[in-house]
Structure 1
Amino acid sequence: MAADELIFDPGVLLPGPVCEFQGYHAAARHGGLGILPWRTAWLEATAAGVDARSEAPEPGEVRFPQALVHLQKSRTASWRDLLCAWNLLEPGGRLLLCGGNELGVTSAVKRLARELEQAPRILANRRHARIVAFERGDGPGPLSTESTRIVLPLPDGTRPALHAEPGVFSAKRLDVGTELLLETLAGQPPPRRVLDMGCGIGPLAFSALSRWPEARALLLDADARAVASASLNAAALGLETRCQIDWWDAEEPCPEGDFDLALVNPPFHGGKEVDLRPAHSMFARLGESLALGGRALIVANRTLPYEDGLESLGTTEVLGASRGYKIIGFTRRVNRRPRVHTPRPRSSGSNRR
């Protein structure tokens, strides 16, 4: 990302530690702390020796002379980060906002200037990106952003509202693919153990647990904000004793195996480009975590060739299609071991980072 290249321009970072949100390279060079809700980035940062956390510390725990916030696609998530960064600054500390034009950095800077009632100081402005600085004074801070509530229709006719932290996928309403998969659950045989891979705030697993009272579920997601949201929702629905929710990246082994049913709604965008690597990593984990003969229901855009990445592991069929999406039914092959279990080096499809 071009904006990230600007953080080491002369005059951008002052000597001393930095609290960095959605990145860690500044913290790696200057010391400090990286706030990284995405597990992939957190694993990279900790491997590089950076002090990294999935969420910001409490203001009374530590203070910093400077904080750097990388602008995200989600405005509500970016403003949550800006407010946390502001509260962690020492008096007179610098709040840095870094972003590219493609993310609307110009409008974000204007909004932040209005809320802080001060003019930004432009520290770097090139490569279609900029970094600006504000000073932590006695004036107002960034306006807080609220979590949202998403209605989940359950099989018993109730419609609880699920909690969604800012920045979590589909944090305004259930996405079309999830709705289609929920419709498909009705025709499935009752499972004992359910795996929700990339669970988000938990609608798929919670609907499954509501439909099948004897089932238990493991929910996994790479976004710590999704894990926090799903944990709150499990408690609110009274399902916390029937499920486990873990922070997990698809490049890591699945914490458990022998699942009868897996529910998967893989991401397929990396920025504006289609990126199938996360989906293929999830499919490799399916071959390891499903019981022999176990079944998975997978959401896919109609145009995406997910079947190609699954054929070495088992059989597939399209169970339904609507509004540009399809549901792929996958059954793990029972007559031979999946290719991902062989001792040979992993193919390029495993996408180890």
Structure 2
Amino acid sequence: MHFPYSRLRRWPDVEADNLQAHDATDLLLVERALSLGVDGREIAVIGDEYGAITLALTDAGVDGIHVHQDLATGRRALARNADDLNLSGFSSHELDATLLDGARLVLLQLPKALAELEEIADAVARWAAPDVVLVAGGRVKHMTIAQNEVLGRSFAQVQAQRAERKSRLIIASEPRPVPAGPPFPVAAQHDGLTLVAHGGAFAGAKLDIGTRVLLEVLGLDGSQLSMDASDRARIAPETGAPTDPCCAVNDGEPSPTPIVVDLGCGTGALAASYALVHPEARLIATDRSAAAVASARATVAANGVADRVTVMHDDAGSALADAGADVVLLNPPFHLGSSVHTGAATRLFEAAARILRPGGELFTVFNSSLGYRAELTRLVGVTEQLERTPKFTVTRSVRR
């Protein structure tokens, strides 16, 4: 089989000379699947970042594959690559029974987070065929014994294969009986805020320290969340907390219904906290991760603000109108998969500049070592530092 892997694109994800749309693990998974000769309608593919596994199998005549990709960018890349190569014969699904019902072979690009792997392994054992075989692969440098242990909770047989081309496959079979309910989502309380998380959501049900710093700067931390609305309104003038930052920078009259966007929302901590403190605002929370979106929807529901927060599975706010937001809240990632790359943050800065109205505000928290202030000024507008801790910096950018 000769599949043109070099023609695959990462678009709309970040593209660079050191970032590719396939790796050796994809090739090993494809080769193993073809050697087993399983009917395509009995194959599920999970974590196929840009379509390399799905499209190589489809090109080889394997028809009817079910695919789950967590990232919106991956789903769009798969669709675009399929169009470019004139390939079809697969269907996309969420991580649920529709993906795995009747599956006898599951191909998995191992995720970074053990919690995500646990949720996937449980889903396969729960919904796939009783004789299902899970073939999981990854780059050797990113693999750990803990991944085998997680797989062992859902499968009686877990066998690591010999490494090839700096990648390795793990074969899991004989699914164990599953508990009555799945292990995810999980929930945790944080000073008046309930966070709900699926396995693939960053930081899980914990409140990551960067988000915590931004919440404190915006007056959205536990001291505010534990109060009722009348108490928050009473003390706001005394503390000077920016309880309605969007209205402070309007050139014209304040908007009666401020539009606030949590860009890259994760589990929805920023959106839910803002909605709790600002009942007058309308929130839009968007993330490219399906696990994050499911988590954020559960979080806003758990905090009783689902009627004022819309959660969207989208790439860098691409579905949002230009110049329609009063405020954007942002805690950008600095990784692309397993690669350290600031391109993801740059895309979000550009997105914030597009969706903010002139005079609108972007509040960003980032690792202080990254020094994003100059880039924020260039892409968005005048940027000031609001807070700096030994690890994190919070800035306020006003859209020019």
TM-score under structure 2 length normalisation: 0.74
Structure 2 residue 152 is the aligned partner of structure 1 residue 130: no
Q: Quick one: structure 1 residues 173 and 290, their matched pair in 2 at CA, closer, same or farther if it must change by over 3 Å?
A: same
Structure 2 residue ranges without an equivalent (≥5): 1-22, 83-87, 220-240, 247-257
- Tell me what 2:31 maps to: 9
Question: Secondary structure at 1:241's aligned position in 2?
Answer: coil
Q: Quick one: structure 1 residues 264 and 119, their matched pair in 2 at CA, closer, same or farther if it must change by over 3 Å?
A: closer
Say whether the 8 Å CA contact 2:197–2:267 is kept in structure 1. yes
- The CA deviation string for residues 57-89 of structure 1, in whole angstroms up to 9 with x for no partner, is 348x83123111221111121121122223343
Q: Quick one: structure 1 residues 5 and 58, their matched pair in 2 at CA, closer, same or farther if it must change by over 3 Å?
A: closer
* C-alpha RMSD of matched pairs (Å): 2.6
Q: 1:52 aligns with which of 80, 92, 110?
A: 92
Q: Quick one: structure 1 residues 118 and 55, their matched pair in 2 at CA, closer, same or farther if it must change by over 3 Å?
A: closer
Distance 2:317 2:307 in 1: 27
Say whether the 8 Å CA contact 1:193–1:217 is kept in structure 2. yes
Relative to structure 2, which stretch is displaced further, 33-42 or 248-257? Answer: 248-257
Structure 2 residue 362 is the aligned partner of structure 1 residue 296: yes
Amino acid at match of 2:108: V
- Tell me what 2:274 maps to: 208
What are the equivalent positions in structure 2 for 1:26-45 lying under 5 Å apart? 26-28=53-55, 29=57, 30-31=62-63, 32-45=65-78
Say whether the 8 Å CA contact 1:152–1:203 is kept in structure 2. no
Q: How far is 1:286 from its partner?
A: 1.3
Structure 2 residue 230 is the aligned partner of structure 1 residue 162: no
Structure 2 residue 46 is the aligned partner of structure 1 residue 21: yes
Distance 1:147 1:242 in 2: 22
Greater helix proportion: 2
- The CA deviation string for residues 145-164 of structure 1, in whole angstroms up to 9 with x for no partner, is 343323333xxxxx232111
Amino acid at match of 1:323: P
Distance 1:254 1:77 in 2: 28
- Tell me what 1:98 maps to: 137
What are the equivalent positions in structure 2 for 1:185-204 lying under 5 Å apart? 185-186=218-219, 187-188=241-242, 190=244, 191=246, 192-204=258-270
Amino acid at match of 2:156: E
Structure 2 residue 174 is the aligned partner of structure 1 residue 147: no
- Tell me what 1:336 maps to: none
- Tell me what 1:275 maps to: 341
Distance 1:215 1:3 in 2: 46
Distance 2:193 2:259 in 1: 23
Structure 1 ranges of 4+ moved more than 6 A = none
Q: How far is 1:283 from its partner?
A: 1.2
- The CA deviation string for residues 101-156 of structure 1, in whole angstroms up to 9 with x for no partner, is 2332544235535753335374x63123222334447x546995343323333xxx
Distance 2:158 2:273 in 1: 49
Structure 2 residue 211 is the aligned partner of structure 1 residue 178: yes
Structure 2 residue 353 is the aligned partner of structure 1 residue 287: yes
Q: How far is 1:21 from its partner?
A: 1.0
Distance 1:111 1:259 in 2: 42
- Tell me what 2:388 maps to: 321
Relative to structure 2, which stretch is displaced further, 1-10 or 162-171? Answer: 1-10
Say whether the 8 Å CA contact 2:148–2:158 is kept in structure 1. no
Q: Quick one: structure 1 residues 200 and 112, their matched pair in 2 at CA, closer, same or farther if it must change by over 3 Å?
A: closer
Distance 2:44 2:362 in 1: 41
Question: Secondary structure at 1:291's aligned position in 2?
Answer: strand
Distance 1:160 1:111 in 2: 29
Q: How far is 1:202 from its partner?
A: 1.1
Structure 2 residue 355 is the aligned partner of structure 1 residue 330: no
TM-score under structure 1 length normalisation: 0.83
Say whether the 8 Å CA contact 1:294–1:331 is kept in structure 2. yes
Question: Secondary structure at 2:163's aligned position in 1?
Answer: strand
Greater strand proportion: 1
Q: Quick one: structure 1 residues 198 and 310, their matched pair in 2 at CA, closer, same or farther if it must change by over 3 Å?
A: same
Question: Secondary structure at 2:77's aligned position in 1?
Answer: helix
Relative to structure 2, which stretch is displaced further, 264-273 or 86-95? Answer: 86-95
Say whether the 8 Å CA contact 1:318–1:328 is kept in structure 2. yes
Q: How far is 1:284 from its partner?
A: 1.2
Distance 1:81 1:291 in 2: 40
Say whether the 8 Å CA contact 1:42–1:54 is kept in structure 2. no
Amino acid at match of 1:233: T
